[in-house]
Structures are given as structure tokens and as C-alpha cells.
Structure 1
């Protein structure tokens, strides 16, 4: 589905209005983090686990839809959403200095969005969201001992995120979300009495009205 269509779908679905300020979803198949919905300046922005933004919405946003329609001057933005009512949407232009950002969301109204550039120290982050408004987003970097978390979301603002790493004795948590801010996820590690549930999610603790994790 094209980015423009995703944005349209997001604005038309009223079900995206959430009570939690930050809401994360985990795959029921892999128990890996899939999406994080962030409320920034009244907008609900969906950050995917791969560091991309798939949609955004505001509960009381109404108005006419406008699109970039100049194929010459708006080449990389052509056909993308330009505004809804008085809220303008912009995208990064393509240049030698912005190649990792080219065509990606740059701003929603007064909310700016920036991305990690490619360098010898940030190759696993290149092109992924770095900032949404005042929220800084970071990812797990290279680890000589265990790279199972490489490139995964590590922090969103002051929310720290962690995953199960390699463990010769217990693989029940391997590459699964185990920590999202104050929320802790635990997995069944019984290989004998309840071996059929080995590796399945056993509990979630720490959910509150500001930060929550759900399994979908």
C-alpha cells in the first residue's frame, strides 16, 4: 500500500484514537515489537519497529485534502498528501546530504521529523526515524558479543526498550520484547512439566494509562 493511501486510511479510521500516551503492540507469533503509537502535540503517530512512520492521526482534525501535484518542482513529493485543512504536511527533498531521508515525512504541522544519516558508526540506523518533535529515537548498535538486537528500537525519549538475547541455557526469551519502559514481559521457560508452552508469553506487568503494551 502506498504511503499516501496509508495516510488516508489513518485519517479516516476513528478507531485510532487512543487513551494511552504511548501504546506498543507485539506480534502474537514472534513476540517481537511491531508498532508504537506516540501522542505528540495532539497527533497520534505510528512508529514501526523498523524505524519508519506508517501513519498519523489527530482526533479533531478536519478539512479538505490537498496533494502535491507538480511533477517537476515536487518530483519526489508528487502525489503525496500536502495538507488537511490548515495542517500542512511536508517531505524531505532528495540531495547529496539527504539521500537517506529523501521522500520521507519531514513535518506534520509544527511537528518536525528527522532521520539517522548513514555513517561508519550508524549504518544500522541509516534512514530510520531519529526525532519526532522533541522525542529522540535510537536503535541498538553493533555488539561484538551478541548482535541479536542490532537495529531494533532501543529508546524513544526516556522509554528504554530491550529484547531477550542469546542464552545457551534458556532460549525462551530470545529476540522477544522483554522491556518497554516500565512494562515487563515474561515468557514460559519450563521445558519439562509445561513444555508445550515453552517460549509463550506468560505475563505482562507495568501497563498504565501513559505507557502500555498489547499483543496482537
Structure 2
């Protein structure tokens, strides 16, 4: 393009990889598109950046519109940007994706431009026969891998737990997100000996059945040392 020529028009959107643990599975929030392009196909929630918005504000707004919850209920962080020239058949569009993680999320309600909204198992979305709209399968895969990786070296797993949780509830999160079975005693030893990871509340619970189990809350450490490797 020669100097002085107008820059090409590029739209900016935000897309959300919203993950939670439901029905013993890692699940993602999806919306069924109600209009073209890809009408009827499942997609990640998201939308266009409004003229007066910064990117985090747009992500928080879309999150609230799709779940009815404010962003303070979530762990919300920027994932990556995607700008392939043909990713949106309507126009040249660059999207900034965010990942949002939380526990006990409600059944979603479809927004005004969606035909349906529901939680779906990540395994079915990535490995099944449901082809997501746009490049959302790649964005979802990146978001899931980000979550799995961050469980190794940060206390992010607690974002999938209630505010007070047992070690076995925390272990269950790791098992669901990583898709593996962990040795209970080894896991208990690692997480309780990792400085700053867990803080005892002084209370116990019998909600898992059997003997009372100690309740913990997440500590203040930002990085786990040593990490909990898959």
C-alpha cells in the first residue's frame, strides 16, 4: 500500500474460552449461532469490541452477557490473538481471546443473537464430530492447554473449587482437567507441603462421606515450587 493510502478496515472482536468442571468433566461454554455466517453451528461466546471499550472491559461484558455473572467470579486472563485473513468470511477480523475459569457456574442463557447456549464436554468439542464455527476449535484447544499447563506451576486449580475445599476435591480438579488418575497420598503430600499453596481453615466437612476432611483455602503464592507436573 502506497504512503498516504487509507488503511484497510479491520474489525476487532473478543472470544471467550469459559471452562468449568461439571458432571465429572471439563466443560466449555458454547453458543449456537442464530445468524450467518455459520448459522446453527456451535461457537465460543464473544462479540465485537465497542468503540468506547478496552479489551478487558469487552471480555468482562461478554462474560456477563453469556453467564449473568460478573467477572469477579472468574479467573480471567488474556489467552492470545488470532488474525488469519480468512478467519471470518464477513470481513477482516482480528480476535483477542480470553480464558475464564470458575466453579459451580450456572446453566447459561442464550444472548439475543444466539439460538442456544450450553455447556459441552471439551473432549466432545475437540475430538468429536462437532465442527465449531470460525477458528474456534483452535482457540478452544489453546485455552484448554493453557489451563492444563498453568495447573502445573500456579494455584489455578483452586479457581475450579469452592472458596473452601478439601484436598480430594482439589485432586479431582487436577484429574478432570489433566484427564488422568493421581495417587491420593502422593498428591496430598505434594500440595500440603508446597509452601503458600494451601491455607488450613481450621474447619472440617463430611460432604464427601466418611471421616471428616480438613478444609483449605488457596494461599497467596503465585508460583508453585516445586511444580506439580503432569
TM-score of Structure 1 vs Structure 2, range by shorter chain: under 0.3
- Structure 2-normalised TM-score? 0.26
Structure with more of its chain in helix, by fraction: 2
